[in-house]
Amino acid sequence: MKLHIVTVGKPKLAYATLGWDDYLHRLQRLHTVRVTQLHDKYADDAAKFREVTAGSYVVALEIEGRDLHSPQLADFLRSRELEAREVSLVIGGPDGLPPEIRSQADFQWSLSRLTLPHDLAMVVTLEALFRASTINAGLPYHR
């Protein structure tokens, strides 16, 4: 499966950088993963987000999106894999995504109803994707 992680900026805090690197490495063992880290100046630029996600199935990470527990996320990824289309997971900046991107996304996913710090949201996204992928692969990570 092809995953495209699109973020505004890179993790800045030490714990987040370590978590990001660890889970990205783990996820890359199960999928083809590419990462686009947009400069902060593009945080509100809907055209830039559309440009980097063109042709893919766009998942906007949004607090008001749909809650998925790990097995549901695994099912969601399995369904997307059957479509043989790259999945772009878009994580906005500290102020979220441009409204146009939220409304035009193919799916809106909520990590939590809590407001998460930007760096933590990036790490939680990768961990959730890895956990769901291990479920699909029948690996023992998920318990």
- CATH classification (class only), 2-137: alpha beta
This prediction's pTM: 0.95
Question: Residue 78 contacts by C-beta under 8 Å, 6 or more apart in sequence?
Answer: 136
- Predicted confidence pLDDT, tens digits, the chain (143 residues): 999 999 999 999 999 999 999 999 999 999 999 999 999 999 999 999 999 999 999 999 999 999 999 999 999 999 999 998 999 999 999 889 999 999 999 999 999 999 889 999 999 999 999 999 999 999 998 66
Whole-number pLDDT of residue 38: 98
Position 143 scores a pLDDT of 65
Rounded Cα–Cα distance for residues 99 and 105 (Å) = 10
Q: What is the distance, to the nearest Å, from the Cα of residue 98 to the centroid of all Cα atoms in its chain? A: 16
Domain segments of the chain as ranges: 2-137
CB-count burial class (<10 Å; 0-12, 13-18, 19+) for 115: exposed
Cβ-proximal residues to 134 (8 Å cutoff; 6+ apart), any chain: 30, 140, 141, 142
